[in-house]
Amino acid sequence: MWLRNIYLKSLRDYRIGILGWGIGMGLVVMSPMASVASLVSTPQARAELVGLAQQFAWNAAAIAVDTIGGYAMFKIGVFVFLIAVWPLLAAGRALRGEEERGSMDVLLSAPRSRARVAIEKIAAIWTALFAMGLLIGLLTYAGGQAFQGEFGLGDALLYGLDIALVCAVFAGITLVLSQFMIEGAAGWGGGLLVIFIVLDMVHRVFPDAENISRLSPIYYFNLSKPLVPSYGTNVGALLVLFVLAAGLCAWSVWLFARRDIGATAQLPRVLRLPSRAAGRGDALPVGDWSLRSVYLRAIANLVTPTLWWSLLVAGLAAWLVVTVQQIGKQLEELIAQSPVMVQFLQTVGGTGASMNATFLSAMFQTLPILLMAFVVTQVNGWAADEENGRLDMILASPQSRRAVVLGRFAALSTAAIFIGLAALGATVLASRVTGVALDDANVAAASLGAIPLGLLIGAVGYLGAGWLRSAADTGLLSFLLLAWFFITFFGRDLGWPDSALRLSAFYYYGNPLLKGLETANVVGLLAVAAVALTVGVLRFTRKDIAV
């Protein structure tokens, strides 16, 4: 049955993503509900929780945080958009990925129009997203029933619908981008996701700048709080997300139906770069610096995505420092009056002599996640190159397979280090400009300490590429990232023992902005990465290509 048409075949391919992301994110939403009762056990504790939540407005609006549903939505905050990784990757592969593999030629040789092929593939993505939303809604409702939440089944399903619609918007963005570029659409979509997250934060830190936040689709996602019955769902905001997602997907179908397969659509006239006459070196780039080794060629291909991700990560780091400067004094006054708030801060970021570092440490947990997300997108490229036959010519040249895989991984490592250095520079510069006092050594530890995590997820991805196709390998990495996030950020809320928390790579990142890096943890992460990479290299040197 699943092979009767393109829609069903595509939906069949998404079955693991539906279950993994739907159930995984549903459990993420459920987990904070378990700790609400202890946080509001007395009127004083309830008041302190509400007061502290106001200082974390950068993460999410503090709406009814003393209720089951309100606290769950607040605690998850921007981290709910981890689920957007799936539609970014799926949309990047849906049309452009088929073209790169050459399978689109086979599909279009059948008696089906281009528009129909694109519509069926996009319909499968939408169906998968709504199925994930349904699973999230059902698990959220189960959590509400278990912990005496105030919301009902309809409210929980509306929350799942809200998540599905905002994910559909980012799928639409990536589909449109894939019409204008041969590769990298998922990475650009991820960059726009980060930009939109920051734009949505603006009006919560600077209340007079709400018009800026309205440029972000995430703003309309946050207008609905279905798990808070007193706040409810904004139907207009849901319609905005639906229209935006549908419009972007329709535009991508229109572009796909009118361009050559394997080529890109023409940019609007105002965005086109001036044309230049082709030179002799354009046809055969003999002697180009990037052709001297696999490492240099990989660096050349990584320059653009690395620069953009560096700007995004560095910009986010600087923005977090500005946020601390805006609300740090109010937070310090509240903490001085409330020892309960100190205990609460320990669960999200730790404590220390500097309240700036205490508050910023909670925010800096996002940086390793972003760096790891960048690495996942690039590992997907390595697996896809083998799957699509782009390694055949390289391996036909007089160089070993070991040199090829290590050269590619070395280039990825260089890109990760560059992004970490960009985050470090932006944080230090922003702290100097705003006057936020920070320990430079700990800032360096927090910025550069994310690099071993990126190398670990990259090594695991190269290991998986020896047995899995690109979609399955990327899905495995995304699920692993989500599992680590769940264990670290919600394991303590669920009362898990320290032995369970150690299963997450984020555990070994610790709180470097407050305590510096622990050498043993860094060495351990690098050792595991080295083992995974070694096994991955051995597998690649002995296997048949694309098998």
Q: Within 13 Å, how many C-alpha atoms sit on residue 7's CB side?
A: 10
Nearest to 438 by CA among 317, 306, 305: 317
Q: What is the pTM of this model?
A: 0.79
Output 323 or 228, whichever has higher pLDDT: 228
Tell me which residue of 93, 172, 186 sits closest to 129, measured CA to CA.
Answer: 172
Calculate ∠ Cα 133-139-145, nearest 5°: 135
The number of residues in the chain equals 547
Q: Which two tokens stand for residue 319?
A: 């923005």
Give CA–CA dist 184/294, Å, rounded.
Answer: 19
CA–CA separation, 319 and 314 (whole Å): 9
What is the mean pLDDT of the segment spanning 360-386? 81
From the CB of residue 383, how many other CB atoms can be counted at a distance below 10 Å? 22
What value does the mean pLDDT take over residues 400-410? 91
Q: What is the pLDDT of residues 511-521, one digit of tens each?
A: 888 788 888 99
Of 234, 236, 233, the C-alpha closest to 69 is: 233
**The pLDDT of residue 347:** 45
pLDDT of residue 152: 93
**Cβ–Cβ < 8 Å for 253, 118:** yes
CA 289 to chain centre: 33
Torsion angle (degrees, nearest 10) of CA 13, 95, 475, 88: -130
- Joined tokens for residue 495: 């009362």
Could you give the CA distance from residue 359 to residue 446 in angstroms, rounded to a whole number?
A: 13
Chain centroid to CA 69 = 24
CA atoms within 13 A of residue 234's CA, in its CB half-sphere: 12
* Beta-carbon count within 10 A of 228 CB: 23
* Distances 537 to 314, 401, 407, 460, 530 between C-alpha atoms, Å: 32, 8, 11, 11, 10
Q: What is the predicted pLDDT for the residue at 348?
A: 40
**Helices 185-205, 85-92: inter-axial angle, 10-degree rounding:** 150
| Range scoring the smallest mean pLDDT among 117-121, 343-347, 477-481 | 343-347
Torsion angle of C-alpha atoms 336, 340, 341, 346, degrees rounded to 10:
120
Phi/psi at 225 (5° precision): -130, 70
DSSP assignment of 282-327? HH--TT-GGGS-HHHHHHHHHHHHHHHHHHHHHHHHHHHHHHHHHH
CA 449/CA 435 separation, integer angstroms:
24
Residues with Cβ within 8 Å of 79's Cβ and at least 6 positions away in sequence, in order, are 28, 366, 369, 485, 489
- Binned at pLDDT 50, 70 and 90, residue 221 comes out as very high
Q: What is the pLDDT of residue 217?
A: 95
Tokens of 160: 């799942």
Residue 225 β-bridge partners: 232
The answer to whether 448 and 332 are in contact (CB under 8 A) is no
Yes or no: say if 110 and 509 are a contact pair by the CB < 8 Å rule.
no
Tens of pLDDT, residue by residue over 412-469, are 999 999 999 999 999 999 888 888 778 888 889 888 999 999 999 999 999 988 888 7
Encoded tokens for 489: 């950020």
Q: How much is the mean pLDDT over the chain?
A: 84
* 291 φ/ψ sector (left φ>0, alpha ψ -120 to 50, else beta): alpha
Comparing 541 with 395, the larger pLDDT belongs to: 541
